[in-house]
Amino acid sequence: MATKSAMSSDDMRREALTTAMGTIQRKYGQGAVMRLDDDAHVAIPIIPSGSITIDMALGIGGIPKGRVTEIFGPESSGKTTLALHAIAQCQKQGGTAAFIDAEHALDPTYARQLGVNTEALLISQPDYGEQALDIADMLVRSGAVDIIVIDSVAALIPQAELEGNMGETQVGGHARLMSHALRKLTGTIHKSNVCVMFINQIRMKINTMGYGNPETTTGGNALKFYASIRIDVRRIQSLKDKEEVYGNRTRVKIVKNKVAPPFREALFDILYGTGISRTGELIDLGVEHGIVDKSGAWYAYGSERLGQGKENVRAFLNDNDAIRDQIEKKLLIHLGVIEEDNGEAKPEAAPAPKKSSKK
């Protein structure tokens, strides 16, 4: 009898829970509450970053939708370039993109060179931070935008500071603005399934006494907590032709990742005027995964000699699309991004890299 009574009690509890869940879903919508396993089979929707190595480092094949992403780093490290590549990839998939240019520094010509359709791009150049974040909030709530880039957090000046006297101190105003905005935005971003990317700058802490990392990002700590992905972008080397600099070797580190293991790194070239060099990535990853043979300074693909030196090989592949496409297809099949039989992209996110892209 005791066992029967206990089972009856458990059944009553389960029935009460089912009733409560049904009431919650009727009041607040489907998915307002669910068991974790109910949603486990759903792959996270993504937007490709435009870089094979970054997609590998992110662990899911791209930048997640319905989440907040922060891109930060020193000046001229490639933060806006990375965001514009993501916009271009979103537009290629038929999505709608918006760029909130708080810095008033977007170069439409450069954006077009990176593949952005500037005629279809929504752009806003707000006067102050509250206006920028309110515009972002309305775009998110519309449910009609796939990616929103805010450039940058440091330029989101509070209205009170803008209207104050030059040099007047507004303690904590910027941090309060970001904290309030992110509290409002995060839930709506998830429901609208939009990718929101904040570009941020770094500052140096004072009085660290030589201990710990002296770098920090602007806008307080709220963005660090609310962001599902935090991407650290660094320029590590200048690419030169004799004395002329034509690009940068760039390292990206995923310092926070709520959708895959963090702390993976990606190395790639950013060329002035063209952005991330996909051909350069094919060369580096091709050598790493044994698809392209390297002997000394010479590169070869099967029986085809590609050239001497990476820059000559890059130029050769840019002029020979057929060989370049063969290398890319074989590499993506090897990485598990596309199926071998038909060469079509898998519907799920790309797997984690088989080996680190760090050299």
- pLDDT tens profile 89-118: 999 999 999 999 999 999 999 999 999 999
Residue whose C-alpha is closest to residue 138's, from 188, 90, 84, 191:
188
The model's pLDDT over 212-263, given as tens digits with 9 standing for 90+, comes to 888 999 999 999 999 999 999 999 999 998 889 999 999 999 999 999 999 9
- Average pLDDT score over residue span 200-222: 87
pLDDT confidence of residue 321 = 94
Give me the long-range contacts of 117-122 (CB less than 8 A, separation at least 24): 117/88, 117/91, 120/91, 120/96, 121/87, 121/91, 121/97, 122/96, 122/97, 122/98
Proportion of the chain above pLDDT 90, given as a percent: 75
Mean pLDDT computed over 199-220 = 87
Rg (C-alpha) for the chain, rounded Å, is 24
Domain boundaries, the chain: 46-162+173-276, 285-335
What is the reported pLDDT for 341? Answer: 66
**What confidence score (pLDDT) does residue 351 get?**
46
Nearest alpha carbon to residue 92 among 60, 108, 116: 116
135: number of Cβ within 10 Å: 17
Nearest Cα to 275, choosing from 110, 91, 93? 110
Who has greater pLDDT, 279 or 207? Answer: 279
- For the entire predicted model, the pTM comes to 0.86
Place of tokens 């090897």: 334
Give 297-305's long-range contacts (Cβ < 8 A, gap of 24+): 301/326, 301/327
Cβ contact 155:198 at 8 Å = no
- Match domain 46-162+173-276 to its CATH number in 1.10.10.10, 3.30.70.980, 3.40.50.300, 3.40.50.410: 3.40.50.300
pLDDT tens for each residue of 125-147: 999 999 999 999 999 999 999 99
Q: Work out the average pLDDT over 17-45.
A: 79
- In the predicted model, what is the mean pLDDT of the chain? 89
- Over residues 152-195, the pLDDT tens digits come to 999 999 998 888 888 777 778 999 999 999 999 999 999 999 99
CA angle at 41 for the pair 35 and 43, rounded to the nearest 5°: 120
Provide CATH code, domain 285-335. Answer: 3.30.250.10
Burial of residue 212 (number of CB atoms within 10 Å: 0-12, 13-18, 19+): exposed
Q: What pLDDT is attached to residue 347?
A: 43
The rounded Cα 98 to chain-centroid distance in angstroms is 15
Matching CATH topology for 46-162+173-276 and 285-335?
no
Q: Which amino acid is at 228?
A: S
Distance CA 228, CA 206 (A): 28
Task: Give a three-class secondary structure readout of the chain.
Answer: CHHHHHHHHHHHHHHHHHHHHHHHHHHHCCCCCCCHHHHCCCCCCEECCCCHHHHHHHCCCCEECCCEEEEEECCCCCHHHHHHHHHHHHHHCCCCEEEEECCCCCCHHHHHHCCCCCCCCEEECCCCHHHHHHHHHHHHHHCCCCEEEEECHHHCCCHHHHHCCCCCCCCCHHHHHHHHHHHHHHHHHHHHCCEEEEEEEEEECCCCCCCCCCEEECCCCHHHHHCCEEEEEEEEEEEEECCEEEEEEEEEEEEEECCCCCCCEEEEEEECCCEECHHHHHHHHHHHCCCCEEECCEEEECCEEEEECHHHHHHHHHHCHHHHHHHHHHHHHHHCCECCCCCCECCCCCCCCCCCCCC
